[in-house]
A and B are shown apart, each in its own frame.
Chain A
Amino acid sequence: MRTLYQFNGGIHPPENKEPSTQSGIARAPLPSKLVIPFRQHAGAAAKPIVRAGDRVLKGQLIGMPDGFISSAVHASTSGTIAAIGAQPIAHPSGLPDLCATLIPDGREEWIAHAAPSTSLRTEFDYRNSDPAELRQQLRMSGVVGLGGAVFPGDIKLRPGNRKIDTLILNGAECEPYITCDDMLMRERAAEIVQGAEMLRFMLDAGEVLIGIEDNKPQAIAAMRQAVTESGLPFEVVVVPTIYPGGSAKQLIRVLTGLEVPSGKLPTDIGVQCFNVATAYSAYRALAHGEPVLSRIITITGNVRRAQNFEVLLGTPVRDLAALGEALPDTDRYLMGGPMMGLPLASTDIPLVKASNCIIAASDKLFPPAPPALPCIRCMRCAEACPADLQPMDLFWFSQSKEFDKAQQFSLFDCIECGACSYVCPSHIPLVQYFQFAKSEIRAREQDQQAADHARERHEFREYRFEREKQEKAEKLAAREQAAKQAQPAVPSMNPADAMQQKIQAAIARAREQAAASKPKNTENLTAQQQAEIAEIEARRAHIHELAKSAGEHKKE
């Protein structure tokens, strides 16, 4: 039995996971329209490589990764690209972003790829491949972290300056209502295990731990069985159910006892963490050559039929809500869980790689928060904070815009889990303040960088002017010097003669130059071409002669 560790705080909100685990994963029907955003991952948006009117196949690349941290985007099904333009997407700003609108033709015609079969492919030999090539394949397959952060997988698999001792597979799924990872582990455990081995191979990691919270006994059993059948030395570790135990840093702490230092990455302490769904998509990408075109999404909350669906990326939220049969008093939808989820502005918004759950919400299900009261510094937020922060101080500094102090109090270690807001007896929206302060600090850093850059350019411009002035002065001085030296050599010559001499010298120079420069196209000619040239020259001489004689005639 492995010794488990604890992190500070954490909360136990009602789980509400049962309704959506009653039946298995169903495949969502093909929607009539798909809206595929080019920014479905952390980092730079992919660059569109198709145009409106193009016909695309299922799995065809439509967005090329653009920049170091970026990932590919593919057509989720075969059909015609109707438009490429800004469309509303799931983002707290509510601003639109670049998307491709795809009208499916219903034929689901695949691009040529290795093996579209659903059976497990273990014979695929990735161990003889170069990890760099495999990483590139993951990048071009659009494999990103499906736990919610959507960080490109190939970047997380790059070798760092430290050996990876432990690869953690995150199946904790701590947030209430969400069950997509649970169902994936129950139904596709063998693929997840194969994917984990591929990730382990690329990282050259030591042990592999699969962390699952103890409220998912069926998933634990399925994963244990899959590990035994595969014969791989992985360990399925059951961790206690607590929110936010599925956050990477917190899960690392629970499983290894190690703490990721502030401002560092897990790889700096020899640990890397992937979501189980990421391992699954890595397996599909490498073994079957299938890019990430769909994902498992939970539809739950105020619905008649809570269930998990395998949904094509780009499907509007409305289609999924219809599958779940949302109850009539539903007045809004959340993307993600009730703790960290994002309220959606409309149901036209497409489902993307980051969407793990759609919750139909009503005031009955989620009563609006009572009005906030002033902070009484009761410290309950600090007791609940899983990142060992002091939210009451961070709140104070963020509210008064004392960003330097907020940073000193490790604002950027906040994982925005919402545990502090959940326990706050004054109902203060603490996380909103932290999000505000973080984005304000980032914007200021960018402004400062821009100002420094402008200063540098301005100073270089001034320096250039100074240099040009100096060069001009030097040239002038040199010329004067030369003139002084030249004068005493020919003191007797009168100005007219001197001018004549200069003109003669210039004419001589020009002649020399004309003689020296031959037209380049007369080198390496064939005999025939030379003959042609000679002929033309002869003709030209003849015409010259004629012209001359004509001129003489006129004179006469």
Chain B
Amino acid sequence: MLSALLVMAGIAIVLGAVLGFSAVKFRVEGNPLVDKIDAILPQTQCGQCGYPGCRPYAEAIAAGEADINRCPPGGEEGIRKLADLLGVEFKPFGGGTVLKPKSVAFIDENLCIGCTLCFQACPVDAIAGAAKQMHTIIASECTGCELCVAPCPVDCISMVPITEKITTWKWKYPVYTLAQAK
């Protein structure tokens, strides 16, 4: 009787110690769901979802405060992935959403007055320049978020859609006619 109690107590102590140790050692910082959602979002940091950047939007989705259909740059593909991850139904974009082709910002260097407002707005530091110096977009870093367009006092920034090149060309989905049943 006593030995049985001792064995049970011993097991309880050992398991308790293991659980306590792993709770400290393998502690997960933050919400892992937020990271997973953030990995799906396109990281344009454009704020079209109504949140200041992709991560705040991911946090809002994880907390159940935001819908999954508020990210136009991610496209329907992105909504589908979020729906898969969260186990909810696919939801189309709302009526007001305009899907635009992927583009990069372009600064007309003849008009630029070097006010630095655009590169203060750029979320990914994709604009090079200095006060009273001409600014330019580092095209390879630009995510096409359009945040630099509004602050420009001389309207010298335009969005240029990315044209298809041989290096970025994709095979199209094969379309062919099926034979009609007789």
Contacts and interface: CB of A to CB of B under 8 A. Distances in A.
A371 interface: yes
Nearest to B80: A401
A216 interface: no
B38 A95 contact: no
A454 B124 contact: yes
Contact of B177 (A95, A371, A374): A371
B171 A372 contact: no
A435 B169 CA distance: 12
Nearest to A457: B124
A519 interface: no
A373 B43 CA distance: 42
B29 interface: no
A249 interface: no
Contacts of A460: 125
B170 A455 contact: no
A95 B171 contact: no
B166 A39 contact: yes
Contacts of A451: 41-43
Interface string B93-124: 00000000000000000000000000000011
A454 B172 CA distance: 27
Interface string B151-175: 0000000000000111011111110
A370 interface: yes
Contacts of B42: 447, 451
Contacts of B43: 450-452, 454-455, 458
Contact of B174 (A92, A93, A436, A454): A436
Contact of A373 (B41, B143, B178): B178
B68 interface: no
A438 interface: yes
Given A95-B165, A458-B53, A372 B176 contact: yes
B169 to A, nearest CB: 4
Nearest to A448: B39
- Chain B interface mostly: loop
B166 A454 contact: no
A433 B174 contact: yes
Contacts of B169: 91, 93, 95, 439
A457 B177 contact: no
A93 B173 contact: no
B74 to A, nearest CB: 9
B44 A454 contact: yes
A415 to B, nearest CB: 16
B45 interface: yes
A374 B176 CA distance: 11
A457 B125 contact: yes
Nearest to A374: B178
Interface of B: 38, 41-45, 53-54, 123-126, 141, 143, 164-166, 168-174, 176-180
What are the nearest 7 A-B pairs in CB distance? A371-B179, A454-B43, A432-B174, A93-B169, A451-B43, A457-B124, A436-B171
18 contacts: A39-B166, A91-B169, A371-B178, A372-B177, A373-B178, A373-B179, A432-B174, A436-B172, A439-B169, A439-B170, A440-B171, A447-B42, A451-B42, A454-B124, A457-B125, A458-B43, A460-B125, A461-B123
